[in-house]
């Protein structure tokens, strides 16, 4: 057990691509945590997806040994996810630290996630160490960015460190500064055990492994433990630290960070944010503050492209859920898409990741419905929670509908301010405030419905600002809105997968865009197919796919009957792959294309 005075727990917080993982690699090198021959880029990002996308999905905690002025220190670097979807996970990782390195790309400057993470860290009471990264880049504006960053955190520009994660310049000074400025953890070995779970992972052989930060007392191997929120008792099968590979040690003392092998088979018994204490007399009376159940924000129906894969999809979701406590799903039956699951995600990135993992790791081909938020339908004293637009009750049968709203922070070059404001206004946004960070950069806060954010807002923001604007947002409750359900009917049959809940004012353009798009996607049939959009019983848009008149092989002579037969067989296979909605055959591709969010916003450009 290390004396708390020689422990420093810190994290690195940064906007995406500001070089957090590369800086972490240098810290591993300088402290000789990884042998040179084992070093690889983005060492702490273990999942293929993390490496490819350059993002951190799971948190990591690594113990580094560093000696300075004759004293050896135990530095615990907690690598946090940096994306808005994982704000709660970030907040728990921050709660495991006393300090945060606020890392900013000297060429890019302060971005929306920089601000959001800074505020989270400050609210968590962490000491902030402002650092500029990528100072080796020719386009780095060290002076200007240092000034902006100093202004943000309220320090003198001279206190802003300058490093290059790539070359290693300034990284030693950074470590020295962390030791000097980040306070040692408090906590007493004599108090009852209180340890914070800030992440967990699932190992097929050892069960759930919790990442923990001990606040008080000691966490010992073989100790009888109790998880407060989960109300579960279990035994610590093993305790240890990541150095950076898992290394068992008999106990973790106050201020220490490490892992705990629980032997539990269900990740949902080990919740991020929960407090672990001992059983019986040694039990702590007060859990650590800040626990929250993971709350899905975005919902989408996932259906196997091949109907027979339903069982495989269920097994795959069960497996993913083992180390993704935030993923929820329930069976859903769609008239159009068959059997599948309505899944809840923390956000769009989380949804993409889950979908990609299902397809990649489990070899499934999926059709996903357009994502939607959770609606609250209020009728008298009752609140009906709706996760699926096709389950939204008909207008007139309820008092009001509420939808989730977020407080969005957007930082943009002032040249694009007009375009950004226009976008936010067109998305039912209400401006909260606006402030110039410098003469050329503006920070804008908007209250926006989450439904608008998940409807290609980020792509639009990027395209209207040539990629320069950055976005972050946090949940800010529910508000009543004039929302209606728009249905799409094919030949008079509603297609549940195409139902959507949109603002009344956008219902018409939305319906029009959908029917126009479907007109292009639905092949001609033997009869005229009406494509209609409706609100309740009122048709708001209509297109017709005219009956096909000709489908015949013109020539059949010269004796090559084989080829003609093969053409027919091919056509037959194509037909077999179609989904039948009432009498209408709809190809798989039409569903996929019509449900893609980016294809559906034609009316807004």
Nearest CA to 403 among 544, 297, 271, 524? Answer: 297
Strands of the sheet containing 127-133, edge to edge, are: 60-68, 71-79, 7-14, 99-105, 127-133, 161-162
**Cβ contact 28:62 at 8 Å:** yes
Residue keyed to tokens 């209509």? 542
Residue 235, number of CB atoms within 10 A of its CB: 13
Both tokens of 387, joined, read 């996760």
Q: How far is the CB of 578 from another protein (least distance, A)?
A: 12
With respect to another protein, which residue has the nearer C-beta, 205 or 557?
Answer: 557
Q: How far is the CB of 561 from another protein (least distance, A)?
A: 6
Q: How far is the CB of 566 from another protein (least distance, A)?
A: 10
Residues 511-570 that bind another protein (CB under 8 A): 526-527, 546, 548-562, 564-565, 568-569
Number of H helices, E strands in the chain: 14, 34
Q: How far is the CB of 309 from another protein (least distance, A)?
A: 26
Both tokens of 580, joined, read 């039948």
Residue keyed to tokens 């993704």? 324
With respect to another protein, which residue has the nearer C-beta, 436 or 527?
Answer: 527
Nearest CA to 413 among 147, 108, 82, 103? Answer: 108
The rounded distance, in Å, linking the Cα atoms of 242 and 76 is: 9
Residues 244-283 that bind another protein (CB under 8 A): none
With respect to another protein, which residue has the nearer C-beta, 224 or 564?
Answer: 564
**H or E stretch covering 343:** strand 338-345
Q: Is the peptide bond before 489 cis (omega within 30 degrees of 0)?
A: no
With respect to another protein, which residue has the nearer C-beta, 40 or 572?
Answer: 572
Q: How far is the CB of 526 from another protein (least distance, A)?
A: 6
With respect to another protein, which residue has the nearer C-beta, 158 or 562?
Answer: 562
With respect to another protein, which residue has the nearer C-beta, 37 or 549?
Answer: 549
Q: How far is the CB of 553 from another protein (least distance, A)?
A: 7
Candidate segments 106-114, 333-341, 384-392, 571-579, binder of another protein by CB under 8 A: 571-579
With respect to another protein, which residue has the nearer C-beta, 565 or 596?
Answer: 565
With respect to another protein, which residue has the nearer C-beta, 206 or 524?
Answer: 524
Burial (CB < 10 A; 0-12, 13-18, 19+), residue 432, is middle
**H or E stretch covering 13:** strand 7-14
Q: How far is the CB of 558 from another protein (least distance, A)?
A: 7
Q: How far is the CB of 528 from another protein (least distance, A)?
A: 12
Q: How many residues bind another protein (CB under 8 A)?
A: 25
Q: How far is the CB of 492 from another protein (least distance, A)?
A: 17
Q: How far is the CB of 543 from another protein (least distance, A)?
A: 17
Query: Using alpha carbons only, what angle is made at residue 331 by residues 328 and 333, rounded to the nearest 5 degrees?
Result: 140
From candidates 538, 575, 577, 580, binder to another protein by CB under 8 A: 575
From candidates 37, 40, 231, 572, binder to another protein by CB under 8 A: 572
With respect to another protein, which residue has the nearer C-beta, 480 or 556?
Answer: 556
Alpha-carbon Rg for the chain in angstroms = 27
Residue keyed to tokens 């292009």? 520
Q: How far is the CB of 547 from another protein (least distance, A)?
A: 9
Q: How far is the CB of 386 from another protein (least distance, A)?
A: 38
The rounded distance, in Å, linking the Cα atoms of 199 and 205 is: 18
The rounded distance, in Å, linking the Cα atoms of 208 and 297 is: 25
**Cβ contact 98:127 at 8 Å:** yes
From candidates 315, 571, 580, 589, binder to another protein by CB under 8 A: 571
Both tokens of 564, joined, read 């003609």
With respect to another protein, which residue has the nearer C-beta, 466 or 563?
Answer: 563
Q: Identify the bridge partners of residue 472 per DSSP, sorted by sequence position.
A: 409
Classify each residue of 83-106 as buried b or exposed e, where b means 16 or more C-beta atoms within 10 Å of its C-beta.
Answer: bbbbbbbbbbbbbbbbbbbbbbbb
**Cβ contact 153:118 at 8 Å:** yes
Binding mask 411-450 for another protein (x = CB under 8 A): ----------------------------------------
Both tokens of 356, joined, read 């990609």
Q: Identify the bridge partners of residue 376 per DSSP, sorted by sequence position.
A: 385, 402
Site for another protein contains 39 (CB under 8 A): no
With respect to another protein, which residue has the nearer C-beta, 28 or 522?
Answer: 522
Residue keyed to tokens 């009906």? 384
With respect to another protein, which residue has the nearer C-beta, 293 or 569?
Answer: 569
User: What is the contact surface with another protein in residues (CB under 8 A)?
Assistant: 526-527, 546, 548-562, 564-565, 568-569, 571-572, 575
């Amino acid at each position: 057990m290390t004396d708390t005075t020689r422990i420093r727990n810190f994290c690195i917080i940064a906007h995406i691509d500001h070089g957090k993982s590369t800086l972490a690699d240098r810290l591993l090198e300088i402290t000789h945590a990884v042998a040179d021959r084992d070093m690889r880029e983005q060492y702490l990002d273990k999942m293929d997806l993390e490496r490819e996308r350059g993002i951190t999905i799971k948190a990591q905690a690594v113990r580094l040994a560093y000696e300075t002025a004759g004293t050896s220190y135990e530095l615990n670097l907690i690598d946090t996810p940096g994306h808005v979807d994982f704000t709660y996970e970030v907040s728990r990782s921050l709660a495991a630290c006393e300090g945060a390195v606020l890392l900013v790309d000297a060429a890019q400057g302060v971005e929306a996630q920089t601000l959001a993470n800074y505020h989270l860290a400050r609210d968590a009471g962490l000491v902030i160490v402002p650092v500029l990264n990528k100072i080796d880049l020719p386009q780095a504006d060290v002076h200007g960015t240092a000034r902006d960053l100093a202004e943000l955190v309220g320090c003198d520009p001279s206190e802003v460190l300058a490093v290059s994660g790539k070359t290693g310049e300034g990284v030693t000074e950074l470590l020295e500064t962390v030791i000097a400025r980040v306070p040692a953890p408090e906590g007493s070995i004599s108090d009852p055990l209180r340890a914070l779970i800030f992440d967990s992972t699932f190992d097929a052989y050892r069960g759930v492994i919790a990442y923990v930060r001990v606040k008080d007392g000691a966490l010992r191997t073989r100790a009888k433990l109790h998880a407060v929120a989960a109300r579960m008792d279990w035994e610590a099968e093993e305790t240890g630290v990541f150095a950076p590979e898992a290394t068992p040690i008999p106990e973790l003392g106050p201020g220490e960070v490490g892992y705990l092998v629980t032997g539990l088979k269900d990740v949902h018994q080990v919740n991020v944010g929960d407090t672990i204490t001992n059983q019986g007399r040694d039990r702590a009376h007060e859990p650590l503050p800040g626990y929250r159940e993971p709350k899905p924000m975005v919902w989408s129906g996932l259906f196997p492209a091949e109907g027979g894969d339903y069982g495989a999809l269920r097994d795959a979701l069960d497996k993913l859920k083992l180390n993704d406590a935030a993923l929820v799903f329930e069976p859903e039956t769609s008239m159009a898409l068959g059997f599948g699951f309505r899944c809840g995600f923390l956000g769009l990135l989380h949804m993409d990741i889950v979908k990609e993992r299902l397809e990649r790791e489990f070899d499934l081909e999926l059709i996903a419905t357009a994502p939607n938020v959770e609606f609250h339908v209020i009728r008298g004293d009752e609140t009906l929670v709706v996760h699926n637009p096709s389950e939204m009750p008909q207008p007139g049968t309820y008092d009001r509908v509420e939808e989730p709203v977020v407080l969005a922070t957007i930082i943009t070059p002032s040249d694009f301010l007009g375009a950004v404001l226009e976008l936010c206004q067109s998305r039912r946004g209400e401006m909260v405030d606006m402030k110039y960070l410098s003469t050329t950069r503006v920070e804008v806060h908007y209250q926006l419905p989450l439904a608008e954010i998940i409807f290609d807002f980020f792509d639009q923001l990027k395209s209207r600002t040539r990629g320069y604007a950055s976005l972050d947002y946090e949940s800010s409750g529910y508000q009543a809105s004039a929302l209606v359900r728009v249905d799409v009917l094919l030949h008079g049959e509603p297609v549940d997968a195409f139902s959507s809940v949109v603002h009344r004012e956008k219902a018409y353009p939305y319906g029009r865009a959908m029917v126009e798009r479907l007109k292009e996607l639905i092949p001609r049939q033997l009869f005229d197919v009406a494509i209609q959009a409706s609100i309740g019983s009122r048709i708001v848009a209509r297109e017709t796919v005219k009956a096909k008149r000709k489908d015949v092989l013109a020539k059949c002579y010269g004796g090559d009957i084989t080829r003609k037969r093969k053409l027919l067989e091919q056509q037959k296979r194509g037909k077999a792959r179609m989904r039948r909605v009432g009498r209408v055959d709809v190809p798989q591709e039409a569903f996929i294309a019509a449900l893609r969010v980016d294809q559906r916003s034609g009316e807004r450009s």
